[in-house]
Amino acid sequence: MAGNYSKLYLHFVFAVKGRQSLIPKERKEELHKYISGLVSYRKAKLLAVHCMPDHLHLFVGYQPSVLISDFVKEIKLATHAYILTNRIVRGSFAWQSGYGVFSYSHSQIDRVINYVKNQEIHHRKRTFREEYLELLEQFAIEYDSRYIFSPID
């Protein structure tokens, strides 16, 4: 068979350092547009993005020509610079080190898009920590709960 054919659907989750609620609701659409450009530049297809005040969900159609760790690092570095340069938050801002990434099948795309886009409704029922631990458990990812989140300063 000639050629390489692949499409991965990846859901990334990462938090603001210290889980501080820093991303203002009124600026999240601006940040979503910027992230859309970052994703496109990295040859991925944005399927859904949602910035909560203390964390971010990003769902993409991913071509495996870039290491996942490099993709996340580039998104976090670029958004960090954008947030500071455009004064989206008052004072300092940083993403917490680390991230979660979860893969889905093509048949699950609509469900995951709906999940990402409805984060505000979703978080009326449970916290980000509860949500993240549930994802880790659903995907049978071994973890040490002491290292899931940095303590809130």
pTM over cut 0.85? yes
d(CA 99, CA 31): 18
Q: How confident is the model at residue 79 (pLDDT cuts 50, 70, 90)?
A: very high
Residue-level pLDDT at 145: 75
Q: What's at 106, amino acid-wise?
A: H
Residue-level pLDDT at 7: 84
Residue-level pLDDT at 4: 72
Q: How confident is the model at residue 3 (pLDDT cuts 50, 70, 90)?
A: low
Q: Tens of pLDDT along 81-128? A: 999 999 999 889 999 988 999 999 999 999 999 999 998 887 788 888
Q: Could you write out the DSSP letters of every residue in 93-149?
A: --BPS--EEEEE-GGGHHHHHHHHHTHHHHTTTS-HHHHHHHHHHHTT----GGGSS
Handedness of CA 137, 58, 97, 20 (dihedral sign): negative
